[in-house]
């Protein structure tokens, strides 16, 4: 019986931690999305710079 209670308590602790972790990660999501957007825009600008340099050579 005690083992069952201990297991149930551990499961509840794990569930509470998962909820807390999901909440923390959801707070970080806008920052992660912003970083990915900046990286994407930087890549696009680099590609355009290469194309413009190539066009000026002809």
User: Which sign, positive or negative, has the C-alpha torsion 15, 17, 20, 21?
Assistant: negative
> Residue 29: is its pLDDT beyond 80?
no
Alpha helices for 1-58 (secondary structure H): 2-57
The pair of structure tokens assigned to 11 is: 């499961």
Does residue 2 or residue 43 have the better pLDDT? 43
Q: What pTM did the predictor assign? A: 0.43
The pair of structure tokens assigned to 15 is: 């569930």
The residue written with tokens 């972790």 in the block is 21
């Amino acid at each position: 019986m005690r083992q069952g209670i201990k297991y149930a308590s551990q499961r509840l602790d794990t569930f509470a931690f998962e909820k807390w972790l999901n909440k923390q990660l959801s707070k970080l999501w806008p920052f992660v999305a912003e970083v990915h957007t900046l990286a994407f825009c930087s890549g696009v600008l680099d590609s355009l710079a290469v194309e413009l340099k190539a066009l000026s050579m002809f």
